[in-house]
A and B are shown apart, each in its own frame.
Chain A
């Protein structure tokens, strides 16, 4: 390795800090639960949500008790029976269009809140998360009066009350993935945001008030895992949608066994990003970086296993290290920041533990030599080379900025290694040869495959996994099916 530039401002490019101002936020000191169109106190106590970049408290957040969850589900049921199921599809759509516009109008504020609470770089929340949130509502708004064409025959029906539990990695985007199709299909919702990232969901509740959405159509209950478990098990819930870990997904699948509840699960992944020797290497390197270091690697579909053809291994790894050395780690609100904070101390510990195990198991570790801020939770982008297929860092989801590099010689070996995992959420293929890409894509057991790109999302494009990455799809026409039943069902 040579030509690695230090990243502390003494390098070939110097950056002045360009922090986004938090003055745009008008946060309250404390937030209650959003039930039946209003904020109200919870009866389960409260917790602080903090900025993972500074560990400073942002606001006090209510914990929904079992009684609160009861109230929320009852409000959703009432709204379903009395209001929402009686509206025309066109009117439901109009509410969703309103929401999409309000999200666009308040995009900057939402982006700042998201980066503050989650730790992700503002350039990502500003350019990826929030625009996609608006796009998701805009897309499903148009479906609300066209459900006869959703693929379930004429006059498909809503399921009723949907319980939705979402993760902390894309807080507002996951909210949009859940709420937009549910409402378009005519369901009402009780949503539980992740414990560490409730803020943007609560701002979204204000948007719902501005949109004059009928009370009870969307209810937001904050809290930890226990609140989510109570919601999922609630007998008056007709649909459960969960995005999160495979472990919790298993528990949910068990909890709903024997009930009438319909379930969709979007769980973990250990995606292979396959780079053939005929790939455009510069683009592939950008794609590898985007694949695993986007959002600090807190991405279920992250390209966490790099499978690189043996003859270009050294070249790719060298270029990768060089590229990573130009990334800027630090203040998530700084517009120059590429790598933000790890979302929580707990997650940081998990990343550290698995990385240590990677070293103990004999893989060679390389981390970007960058400065780490004093406060907050941080992990320098890290690459492991010489990783074997049985190594824990090649098998377990790390959910952090850690890339495991493996090699292959033939397409058949690449496919076998890519599929050698209980997960099956996503995969990447890099090659200049279209016929090879299509042949390999056919053989990969994964729900989303990116060819010469990675981590692309669009409301029109179905997303979801094979095998233990869960079931059901979000996005596109397929995403509606998760919230509808045929007229005869």
Chain B
């Protein structure tokens, strides 16, 4: 007699914990052939606001960690993801209706993306910063610092794990914290990735994952006064111009939608940084 499997309950990931939606809502996630896979949490406005509170609370710790430490934690994510590779391959194959080989390529690229970005943590400041030769007796230095809380609409239907990773990882490098709305139709690997993050020494609240309808959740994030930047990467099918307009009320930094996946890019790290320039007097000796 075969053993009866234990199905996983897929919940949200907020502040390092896995709550259900406070709204009590869920939605059915199906395989490509329509078969039932799971009920995912249908995140609400309140969940989005809770996620922003958690993300804000996590900024000082994550941004204040040393670059070396952030790099190690991001590398740890790759390690733990590698260890659970088979689970992700299976989940993606089932959800996206692709072969195991295609799903494996997606997972491998996602793992390697974490490694690539992990290596940037203690280098991008040197690449993007500068010592400035001002005309006067001043020591003058410019360095990029994290923007703060970044809200992201993950790519939709472009590879549920890889799209999420390519959107979230670069924002973390500089010390930002993230609220991300996952791929609506394929949210399972996002929540499984949250389990990886939760066991990779990433402090709670640094990444918060919402599943559900981007069309419903994104407007609350776009207009939230405690969100500093809005990445509309996967919002191309939404009324994203309205989101950009809402974001303008508090002058959020906005990245407009892009077709497909963004790949790996230093630009995506720098898009969520602010250049701070410090002038320090030199005494006359």
Q: Is the CB of B134 within 8 A of A462?
A: no
Other-chain residue from A254, A451, A470, A473 in contact with B275 (beta carbon distance below 8 A): A473
Please give, as numbers and ranges, the residues of chain A lying within 8 Å of B274 by CB-CB distance: 424, 447, 466
Report Cα–Cα, A450/B244, bound state, in Å. 33
Report Cα–Cα, A448/B140, bound state, in Å. 10
Closest Cβ of chain A: how far from B276's Cβ, in Å?
A: 6
Q: Is the CB of B281 within 8 A of A453?
A: yes
Q: Does B33 contact A (CB under 8 A)?
A: no
Q: Is the CB of B276 within 8 A of A449?
A: yes
Please give, as numbers and ranges, the residues of chain B lying within 8 Å of A298 by CB-CB distance: none
Please give, as numbers and ranges, the residues of chain A lying within 8 Å of B68 by CB-CB distance: none
Interface residues on B, range: 20 to 34
Please give, as numbers and ranges, the residues of chain A lying within 8 Å of B140 by CB-CB distance: 458, 460-461
Whether A422 touches B250, Cβ cut-off 8 Å, given contacts A453-B138, A478-B142, is: yes
Report Cα–Cα, A468/B228, bound state, in Å. 9
Whether A461 touches B279, Cβ cut-off 8 Å, given contacts A453-B138, A467-B228, A467-B251, is: yes
Q: Is the CB of B251 within 8 A of A250?
A: yes
Report Cα–Cα, A451/B276, bound state, in Å. 13
Closest Cβ of chain B: how far from A287's Cβ, in Å?
A: 10
Closest Cβ of chain B: how far from A469's Cβ, in Å?
A: 8
Contact with B along A432-469 (1 / 0, CB 8 A): 00100110010000111111110010101111101110
Closest Cβ of chain A: how far from B256's Cβ, in Å?
A: 8
Please give, as numbers and ranges, the residues of chain A lying within 8 Å of B132 by CB-CB distance: 458, 460-462, 476
Q: Does B133 contact A (CB under 8 A)?
A: yes
Please give, as numbers and ranges, the residues of chain B lying within 8 Å of A468 by CB-CB distance: 250-251
Please give, as numbers and ranges, the residues of chain B lying within 8 Å of A246 by CB-CB distance: 251
Contact with A along B264-284 (1 / 0, CB 8 A): 000100000011111111000
Other-chain residue from A265, A424, A456 in contact with B138 (beta carbon distance below 8 A): A456
Q: A-side binding surface: helix, strand, loop or mixed?
A: mixed
Q: Does B102 contact A (CB under 8 A)?
A: no
Q: Does B98 contact A (CB under 8 A)?
A: no
Other-chain residue from A151, A449, A477 in contact with B278 (beta carbon distance below 8 A): A449
Q: Does A376 contact B (CB under 8 A)?
A: no
Please give, as numbers and ranges, the residues of chain B lying within 8 Å of A449 by CB-CB distance: 276-279
Q: Is the CB of A254 within 8 A of B278?
A: no
Q: Is the CB of B279 within 8 A of A267?
A: no
Please give, as numbers and ranges, the residues of chain A lying within 8 Å of B247 by CB-CB distance: 253
Q: Does B245 contact A (CB under 8 A)?
A: yes
Q: Is the CB of A461 within 8 A of B134?
A: yes
Q: Is the CB of A250 within 8 A of B248?
A: yes
Q: Does B35 contact A (CB under 8 A)?
A: no
Q: Is the CB of A258 within 8 A of B277?
A: no
Contact with A along B142-155 (1 / 0, CB 8 A): 10000100000000
Contact with A along B231-251 (1 / 0, CB 8 A): 000000000110011011111
Q: Nearest chain-B residue to A478 (Cβ)?
A: B275
Q: Nearest chain-A residue to B267 (Cβ)?
A: A486
Q: Does B65 contact A (CB under 8 A)?
A: no
Closest Cβ of chain A: how far from B19's Cβ, in Å?
A: 30
Please give, as numbers and ranges, the residues of chain A lying within 8 Å of B130 by CB-CB distance: 462, 476-478
Q: Does B253 contact A (CB under 8 A)?
A: yes
Closest Cβ of chain A: how far from B130's Cβ, in Å?
A: 6
Closest Cβ of chain B: how far from A129's Cβ, in Å?
A: 15
Q: Does A135 contact B (CB under 8 A)?
A: yes
Whether A462 touches B251, Cβ cut-off 8 Å, given contacts A452-B280, A476-B142, A477-B130, is: no
Report Cα–Cα, A250/B253, bound state, in Å. 12
Report Cα–Cα, A451/B141, bound state, in Å. 12
Please give, as numbers and ranges, the residues of chain A lying within 8 Å of B249 by CB-CB distance: 250
Whether A452 touches B241, Cβ cut-off 8 Å, given contacts A461-B142, A462-B275, is: no
Report Cα–Cα, A62/B267, bound state, in Å. 42
Please give, as numbers and ranges, the residues of chain A lying within 8 Å of B278 by CB-CB distance: 438, 441, 448-451
Most A CB within 10 A of own CB, among B140, B253, B278:
B278
Report Cα–Cα, A19/B136, bound state, in Å. 29
Report Cα–Cα, A476/B275, bound state, in Å. 11
Q: Nearest chain-B residue to A450 (Cβ)?
A: B279
Please give, as numbers and ranges, the residues of chain B lying within 8 Å of A467 by CB-CB distance: 228, 250-251
Please give, as numbers and ranges, the residues of chain B lying within 8 Å of A458 by CB-CB distance: 132, 134-136, 140
Please give, as numbers and ranges, the residues of chain A lying within 8 Å of B279 by CB-CB distance: 448-451, 453, 456, 461
Q: Nearest chain-B residue to A249 (Cβ)?
A: B251
Q: Which of A398-452 contact B (CB under 8 A)?
A: 422, 424, 434, 437-438, 441, 446-452
Q: Does B128 contact A (CB under 8 A)?
A: yes
Q: Is the CB of B251 within 8 A of A437?
A: no
Q: Which of B88-140 contact A (CB under 8 A)?
A: 127-128, 130, 132-136, 138, 140
Report Cα–Cα, A462/B142, bound state, in Å. 7
Report Cα–Cα, A458/B251, bound state, in Å. 26
Whether A461 touches B251, Cβ cut-off 8 Å, given contacts A258-B241, A453-B138, is: no
Report Cα–Cα, A246/B249, bound state, in Å. 10
Q: Does A257 contact B (CB under 8 A)?
A: yes
Q: Is the CB of A464 within 8 A of B248?
A: no
Q: Is the CB of B134 within 8 A of A257?
A: no
Q: Which of A209-265 contact B (CB under 8 A)?
A: 246, 249-250, 253-254, 257-258, 265
Closest Cβ of chain A: how far from B161's Cβ, in Å?
A: 25
Q: Does A47 contact B (CB under 8 A)?
A: no
Closest Cβ of chain B: how far from A42's Cβ, in Å?
A: 30
Q: Is the CB of A437 within 8 A of B250?
A: no
Q: Does A471 contact B (CB under 8 A)?
A: yes
Closest Cβ of chain B: how far from A97's Cβ, in Å?
A: 17
Please give, as numbers and ranges, the residues of chain B lying within 8 Å of A476 by CB-CB distance: 130, 132, 142
Closest Cβ of chain A: how far from B66's Cβ, in Å?
A: 12
Q: Nearest chain-A residue to B139 (Cβ)?
A: A451
Closest Cβ of chain B: how far from A206's Cβ, in Å?
A: 27
Report Cα–Cα, A308/B136, bound state, in Å. 27
Q: Is the CB of A471 within 8 A of B277?
A: no
Whether A464 touches B253, Cβ cut-off 8 Å, given contacts A452-B281, A458-B140, A476-B130, is: no
Residues of A within 8 A of B (CB): 135, 151, 246, 249-250, 253-254, 257-258, 265, 267, 422, 424, 434, 437-438, 441, 446-453, 456, 458, 460-464, 466-468, 470-471, 473, 476-478, 486
Listed by A's residue number, 6 A-B pairs whose Cβ atoms lie within 8 Å are: A258-B244, A447-B277, A449-B277, A462-B130, A462-B277, A477-B130
Known: A462-B130, A466-B276. 20 other contacts (CB 8 A): A253-B251, A254-B248, A257-B245, A258-B241, A258-B245, A267-B251, A424-B274, A447-B275, A448-B277, A449-B278, A453-B138, A460-B140, A461-B142, A461-B279, A466-B147, A467-B228, A467-B250, A471-B251, A478-B130, A486-B267
